[in-house]
């Protein structure tokens, strides 16, 4: 009897370890997708420059548009959004099926987090990536589109009035966790991981804009539409 118990316990332990490794694997796969530096690649391939040496020295779509023009910036924006959306729609459902104890919502949050961290701390650029706004939008599109719409409305309103993309992004990020809590008010317990994710991601996005905050306060921040061509 004790021998059978040991075998059963060993099998249970192996299964648990296997499931943990699967979850880690999907997180890392999401990270690698998010880490693809499309802004950097566009500047290198089209003009042979390092986008990190121009404009705000950021690899995100806003700086690409400022340095290389709106068409290129728009393409980079779409790709950055897509690399946030893809892990949520593709990897998360598979992870939830292979690890039933891990709900689909939690799998989406985990894969989305991996993609955002990949963009912000990309391994391909020595862990110095973009600010995560576009990729976060892609994640939210597949995770909680209602909360995304509220944040997007805030962003459009503020950018439309003051033409500061950074200001719109900062305040839209701040509004996001509040919106998530309101939308899931009747079911906060099951949405706990999502709320934790919302607060963490909002904090990360705002922290990544600390340079922009300094320039906004100093009155030196660039406005939407100001073009700074690469030399």
Query: Does residue 15 belong to any structural domain of this protein?
Result: yes
- Cβ distance 173 to 151 under 8 Å? yes
Query: Does residue 230 belong to any structural domain of this protein?
Result: no
Query: Does residue 137 belong to any structural domain of this protein?
Result: yes
pLDDT 10s digits, 79-128: 999 999 999 999 999 999 999 888 899 999 999 999 999 999 999 999 99
pTM (2 decimals)? Answer: 0.87
Query: Does residue 169 belong to any structural domain of this protein?
Result: yes
Query: Does residue 229 belong to any structural domain of this protein?
Result: no
What is the C-alpha separation between 121 and 116, in angstroms, rounded?
Answer: 8
Per-residue confidence (pLDDT) for residue 229, from 0 to 100:
58
Query: Does residue 206 belong to any structural domain of this protein?
Result: yes
What is the C-alpha separation between 35 and 37, in angstroms, rounded?
Answer: 6
Query: Does residue 225 belong to any structural domain of this protein?
Result: no
Q: Which residue has the higher pLDDT, 17 or 226?
A: 17
pLDDT 10s digits, 45-77: 999 999 999 988 899 998 999 899 999 999 999
pLDDT 10s digits, 167-215: 999 999 999 999 999 998 988 877 888 899 999 999 999 999 999 999 9
Query: Does residue 7 belong to any structural domain of this protein?
Result: yes
Q: How many domains does the chain have?
A: 1
What's the domain range around 135? 2-218
């Amino acid at each position: 009897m004790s021998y059978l118990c040991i075998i059963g316990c060993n099998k249970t332990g192996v299964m648990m370890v296997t499931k943990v490794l699967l979850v880690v694997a999907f997180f890392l796969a999401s990270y690698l997708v998010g880490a693809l530096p499309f802004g950097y690649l566009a500047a290198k391939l089209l003009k042979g420059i390092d986008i990190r040496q121009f404009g705000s020295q950021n690899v995100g779509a806003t700086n690409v548009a400022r340095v290389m023009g709106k068409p290129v910036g728009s393409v980079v924006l779409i790709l950055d959004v897509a690399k946030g959306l893809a892990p949520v729609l593709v990897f998360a459902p598979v992870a939830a099926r292979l690890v039933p104890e891990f709900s689909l919502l939690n799998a989406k949050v985990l894969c989305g987090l991996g993609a955002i961290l990949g963009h912000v701390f990309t391994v391909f650029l020595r862990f110095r990536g973009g600010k995560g706004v576009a990729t976060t939008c892609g994640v939210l599109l597949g995770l909680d589109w209602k909360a995304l719409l509220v944040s997007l409305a805030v962003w459009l309103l503020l950018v439309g009035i003051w033409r500061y993309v950074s200001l719109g992004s900062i305040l839209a990020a701040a509004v996001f966790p509040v919106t998530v809590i309101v939308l899931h008010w009747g079911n906060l317990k099951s949405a706990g991981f999502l709320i934790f994710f919302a607060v963490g991601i909002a904090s990360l996005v705002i922290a990544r804009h600390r340079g922009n905050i300094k320039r906004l306060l100093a009155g030196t921040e660039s406005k939407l539409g100001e073009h700074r061509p690469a030399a």
